[in-house]
Every structure is written in structure tokens, then in C-alpha cells.
Amino acid sequence: MTSPARIPVATMANGSEIALYLHELVGTRGDGPTVGICAAIHGNERTGTEIVLETARRYADGAFGGRLLLLPVANPFAFEANRRHTPTDDLNLNRLFPGRVDGWFSEQLAELITRTFLTKIDILIDLHSGGDRPTVDYVYIRNAEALSRAFGSRVLYRSQPGKEGTIFEGTSVGVTEERGIPSVTIELGGGLIDQRPYVARGLKGLSNIFATLEMLDSEPDETTEAIVVDAITTLRPKMGGFLETEAPALGEPIAAGSTLGRIIHPQTFEELEDIENTVPDGIMILSHLTRNVVQPGDYAYMVGTPSS
């Protein structure tokens, strides 16, 4: 495996230097698109970085067509701190693209990623996960539906302007979509559970996307019919404490009024809150698969509304 390109970002107040590392893998099987894969824009979403690592290992022999540009850790400080936002300025990097050269640190980082990565690719795959506590499982349909479906997830989200859960302004895919670049945002894994099954699914899904793009000699696998949702409702606790989940598995239906989970006081053991599903005929999108500690207002559950 070749050494990645080191892209200096800045010298910090303590004298340390921060840099991004961009891996370039060139295929030996002819021409093809340049596919950019990035992860850890949110620093506590590490499953994507593991998927990028295994992707680099799997395709190190160049047995594909085209080129891969891999950005495994887009937000190094947040990754180190296991935080969603950049600790330096407490900003959400994925609301700041295309960034500003004269802005806050996170805005400068967004500008650098835009200039050195997002504008150098033909296709973008942006990997996200549920973070360090909740677990998530769905893929956005944006401007590349065939590629979104090729990943093979059970649930697809066709985001629509004005509906809750849509992709916000300032995301990485906003930059690429504006340039007409096919873009796929994947939400997969996370939580205090073994990530290896999700990493394996990520590798398989990316391989099927590559096959769909005719970058591999193999034909793409047929994917099962997915559930398409056109809205996602986020349910947040009003109380903090232990969250004990009673929700069904991700991708499974749940009726309105059903209990998703209960907040338990960690010292008195009393039940403080019953979190109910408010979505008729909903589909589980994000959940806590273990007993986790949450604060009021944290991500507790996300429930999708199937397309009519």
C-alpha cells in the first residue's frame, strides 16, 4: 500500500501540527471514475473510518478500474476527542461546507477538504454512523439513486426539502451535488456494540457500488427490495439517565403509541420517562441497542415514515 498524501491544515496554539491524510489507489483494469470516500466528518462516528481502512486493504492490489481517493478522518480533532463537533470551536463541520478561508477553524477545514478532495472526484460516498452510543442503518437517496440502492441497505431515505430529517445546508454532499457529482450518504453502525458486522456490510456495499460503476470484473449483486421513507422523525428524551430500549430491530415496523424506550434514574431506579413512537406505521431508523446513558435532548430514536 502506498503512503498517503499529507495535507497540512494548521499549527495549533500549543505548537502541534494537524494534517489530513488522503490515500490514492489507482486501478490496473483500465479507465473508470474517481470515487471519493470520506469518513469521520463527525468525530464520534468511527465505523466509517474502519470501513475506509478495510477498503484500502482490500483494493491495495489495484484490481479495479478507475481510481479511489480515501479520506479516512476528515475531522482529526473531533476524532481524537470522540466528539461530534470540532473541539476547537464547537462547530459542526458538516454544516459548514464549502467553508471559508478566513473563517473559524472548522470553516477553514471545510474549505481545505472542498479544495483538495470534494472538487477532485467524480463520485462521492460519505460515510456516517450513529456515533458512540446510538446505532443507525439507512442510506440517503439524493442524485444517484442506483448507487444508493446498490449499497444494499434495507431502508432508503428519499430526503425532500422542508421535511424533518432532510440533509441540512452546508454538508459535503451539498458541494458535490451542486457540481453535478453523483453523491451517496450512508448511515451505518455505531453504538457500544461490535462494529465488525457493520464494517463487513460496508465493504460488501461499496463493492456492489464499484461493480455497478463497472469498476470491477464482477457483476453487481441483486439487491432486495428496500423500504423507502420520505420523512424521518427524531425523538429526544426530556429526562436524562439510563435509556433502556424496547424498540424493534432497525428496519422493522413500529406502530404509533408503542414504547420505544424508558428513561431510568441511575440512582433511585425510578422510571422518569416513557418515550413513545409518534409516527404512524413507522420504520426504525436509529436506536440504542444497549443500555446507554443519555442527557435530555440527546438522540434517542429516529423513526421513518414510509413513502405512500
Q: What does the pLDDT average to over 241-247?
A: 98
The single residue listed with the C-alpha cell 473531533 is: 78
pLDDT digits (tens, 9 = 90+) for 194-222: 999 999 999 999 999 999 999 999 999 98
Write out pLDDT tens, residues 113-172: 999 999 999 999 999 999 999 999 999 999 999 999 999 999 999 987 655 555 678 999
pLDDT at 167: 61
pLDDT tens digits, one per residue of 105-130: 999 999 999 999 999 999 999 999 99
Rounded CA Rg of the chain: 20
What is the per-residue pLDDT across 257-282, written as a single tens digit (0 to 9) for each? Answer: 999 999 999 999 999 999 999 999 99
How many Å from the N-terminal Cα to the C-terminal Cα in the chain? 48
Average pLDDT, the chain: 95
- Global pTM value: 0.95
What pLDDT is stored for residue 222 in this prediction? 87
Q: Which pLDDT belongs to residue 30?
A: 87
Domains, the chain: 5-225 (3.40.630.10), 233-306 (2.40.50.100)
Region 59-81: mean pLDDT is 97
SS (H, E, C) the chain: CCCCEEEEEEECCCCCEEEEEEEEEECCCCCCCEEEEEECCCCCCCHHHHHHHHHHHHCCCCCCCCEEEEECCCCHHHHHHCCCCECCCCECHHHCCCCCCCCCHHHHHHHHHHHHCHHHCCEEEEEECCCCCCEEEEEEECCCHHHHHHCCCCEEEECCCCCCCCCCCCCHHHHHHHCCCCEEEEEEECCCCCCHHHHHHHHHHHHHHHHHCCCCCCCCCCCCCCEEEEEEEEECCCCCEEEEECCCCCCCEECCCCEEEEEECCCCCCEEEEEECCCCCEEEEEECCCCEEECCCCCCEEEEEECC
- Residue 164: the pLDDT is 55
